[in-house]
A and B are shown apart, each in its own frame.
Chain A
Amino acid sequence: MSLSFKESRRRTASAFMYALCAASTLAIVTVLLMVAGYLAWIGASSLSWNLLTTVPTGDVANPGGMRHAIDGTIVLVLLAAMLGVPLGVLAGIYLSEYPEEARLTGPLRFIADVLTGVPSIVVGILGYELLVVPVSRLTENSISFSGFAGAGALAFIMIPIVARTTEEMLRLVPRSYREGSLALGATRSQTIFRVVLPGAFGGITTGIVLAMGRIAGETAPLLFTALGSRLLTHDPRQPFPSLTLQIYTYATGPYPEQRRLAWAGMLVLLALLFVLNLAVRIVAARQARGRLH
């Protein structure tokens, strides 16, 4: 049977759409692979054990390693998480579990969504005005850039993300858990902390780790808060190094050896993020398997 004109035109259009989608995807993947390949190519040539273990020498021809920056990023992210995770999770609980407060939670949810989209340079300036300048006044130091200020700015980015994912994950917990617990005479907070939160544990953890990955890659919020440092320090009261800041400094500088180091630093940062994402996937897969039972 021959197809009617309309029908064959419909099929041609469908095939054309498919080709268009496939081609776009292919183009994106190709560009991504080229970028990753280029980065790996240049970065790998400067990768060395020294990069991971030594700190800057001050010699532009032989600039040393990035140990200080790797430690700095890890410390900053952990500090930010110590503040951002509890606040974010609690806010998420509030958004999800207290529907009778809708007049408050509605606007709060909106604010959280807006905050998630605030440009990170704005967070950096805000951090400077709120966390650096006042401390300088208090301590009468000339200027108080510090790891704490950097971590605070990162936490500011983290909180709305964690709050919203926590809320979404809590909403996925079946109503029957809540009713079952309340029917046994549990209070609302007992129900939330003993039954609902454990029921959403996997999803919330995933959200937290993804948020940590996101802030680990931030530069702008740290520019005017942590400032960066060439010293290996674990004292967050001091100006604090981070991978992103060090990459920024080296990559925008005039010295070729430092620029090579910046590429290597990017590779290290991406490797860190990759490991984080892998961890998330493993946790999520475990959760999925747990649910199948």
Chain B
Amino acid sequence: MPGSVSMTKTPARIETHSRPSTPVVRPIPQADSGQYPLIDAIKRGETPEPMRHESVQSVGQILDIRNFELWYGATKALHGITMPIAAGKVTALIGPSGCGKSTLLRSVNRLNDLIDGVRTSGTIALDGKDVYARNVDVITLRKRLGMVFQKPNPFPMSIFENVVYALRIAGERRKSLLQEACEKALRQAALWDEVKDRLKASAMGLSGGQQQRLCIARAIVSEPQVLLLDEPCSALDPIATLRIEELIIEIGRRYTVLIVTHNMQQAARVSDFTAFMYLGRLVEYGRTADIFQLPRLRETEDYVTGRFG
């Protein structure tokens, strides 16, 4: 009966709006309620200037994303993204599903080139050189970047061959060198002790968590300048997740890491900087401690505390 539905709904709304807001428990704001000016503007299709903390500008950058935009055919997935990425630090990308985190990550190593109808504008500079410049060789570019995907994707070959794959395709044949590199990468990925006796065994026989660490080893074997991680723990159980998180913190000491995550605690634990994205726009970007404890936008505060998004 349509009548009764509207009868119950209307008073509830009125109640929400009329309740006095207290600093401890705020009601969940409705869309367009005026509490989220930036997000409301984004929802209207605008690209407002994001809240970029001064802390992100002052550090040495290895990646510099400037006014970057991306279209999947007629759909625009990234709008005017400008964000410098600190060298030697871990930067986390957070935001609701579909906000373009993976798209941004895959733009850095130009994996989106494989998708039909993708167009971009703006620049992403790696070490000062735009990766979208005409004379850039994509193969060479990708060799300088490592990537780990959401689902572990070991290749159908032995553990050893998986790890040294990047070296093999670069033409490396020296056995001793390959073995050394394999051991080093597996140690860095905290997997060496578990697999050192079965390097010749198929990588398909490893557990999910082991496979993901193998993929990390595979990504760092050629010592990339930036490591791109797209929700590397989302297919793993809590214990395996914890191991990977420790690993990311450890690896973050040596590499620049750009990680996409849906898990706020994970972002807080592993990263130095955090960027909050919404509908293809950057919303707030600053030191992780600031984003989680002293966010400047109510949007960000409510998102990281799980009140919105």
Contacts and interface: CB of A to CB of B under 8 A. Distances in A.
25 contacts: A176-B149, A177-B155, A177-B156, A180-B149, A180-B215, A181-B155, A182-B114, A182-B142, A183-B142, A183-B145, A183-B219, A184-B147, A184-B169, A184-B219, A185-B144, A185-B166, A185-B170, A186-B169, A194-B157, A194-B165, A194-B169, A195-B155, A198-B155, A198-B156, A293-B202
A187 B153 contact: no
Interface in B143-167: 143-147, 149, 151, 153, 155-157, 165-166
Given A184-B142, A184-B143, A195-B156, A179 B169 contact: no
A243 B109 CA distance: 58
Contacts of B1: none
Contacts of A100: 116
Interface of B: 109, 111, 114, 116, 139-147, 149, 151, 153, 155-157, 165-166, 168-170, 202, 204-205, 215, 218-219, 222, 228
Contacts of B147: 180, 183-184
The 9 tightest CB contacts between A and B, nearest first, are A185-B143, A176-B153, A183-B147, A185-B142, A293-B205, A180-B153, A184-B166, A186-B169, A199-B156
A107 interface: no
Interface string A200-211: 010000000000
A6 interface: no
- A contacts with B: majority SS: helix
Contacts of B114: 179, 182
Given A180-B155, A180-B215, A190 B109 contact: no
A185 B155 contact: no
A184 B218 contact: yes
A190 B142 CA distance: 14
Contacts of A199: 155-156
Interface in A155-214: 174, 176-177, 179-187, 190, 194-195, 198-199, 201
A182 B219 contact: no
A187 B139 contact: yes
